């Protein structure tokens, strides 16, 4: 099925952490994404709740490349998703600025909420940065999992699985925050 003219389309695709989704409008501009919700159908249902007008469709070249990039990042921890065209029109200005900073954090690196706030020229806005990332409509394209609480603590993560999902995504990228216990070796 092709993308509806002038409308929104989405696809659900497998990754090593579960089925993710991308929502787009032509010509391949991503308006949202979803990390796994436990099953392909739950991910599909979440997308339909957030974007009721979106229709499931086969992606064109630009979105297919984005799908491949997301899947590769989640499998290998490598890849650059900064070239994916995002529609930020509905995103509040502060959140947009946060997402722009976070998109510059390469795989395998992290920043703290406070460091993001400082890069925005808003020291002391760490909590606002965390709230903006909690509303992130583009995970992992905007890699909010790479932003940590002070002292390299995991902090929050709004995706299904919370901290565990965030830790798993970071570990795939080579960032190890927690050491295994004797029973996990």
List active site positions: 144
Query: Counting beta carbons within 10 angstroms of the beta carbon of residue 30, is it exposed (0 to 12), middle (13 to 18) or buried (19 or more)?
Result: buried
CA dist 64 to 21, 56, 77, 142, Å?
11, 14, 19, 18
Distance from the Cα of residue 39 to its chain's centroid: 18
Quote the tokens at residue 52.
């009721």
């Amino acid at each position: 099925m092709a993308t509806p003219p002038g409308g929104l389309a989405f696809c659900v695709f497998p990754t090593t952490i579960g089925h993710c989704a991308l929502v787009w409008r032509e010509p391949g501009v991503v308006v949202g994404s979803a990390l796994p919700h436990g099953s392909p159908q739950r991910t599909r249902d979440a997308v339909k709740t957030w974007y009721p007008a979106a229709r499931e469709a086969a992606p064109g070249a630009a979105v297919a490349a984005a799908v491949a990039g997301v899947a590769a990042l989640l499998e290998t921890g490598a890849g650059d998703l900064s070239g994916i065209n995002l529609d930020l029109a509905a995103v509040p200005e502060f959140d947009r600025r946060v997402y722009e900073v976070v998109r510059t954090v390469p795989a395998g690196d992290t920043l703290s909420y406070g460091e993001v706030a400082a890069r925005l020229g808003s020291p002391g806005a760490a909590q606002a940065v965390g709230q903006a990332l909690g509303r992130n409509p583009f995970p992992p394209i905007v890699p909010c999992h790479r932003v940590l609480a002070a002292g390299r603590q995991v902090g929050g993560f709004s995706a299904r699985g919370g901290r565990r999902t965030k830790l798993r995504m970071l570990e795939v990228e080579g960032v190890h925050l927690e050491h295994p216990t004797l029973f996990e070796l």
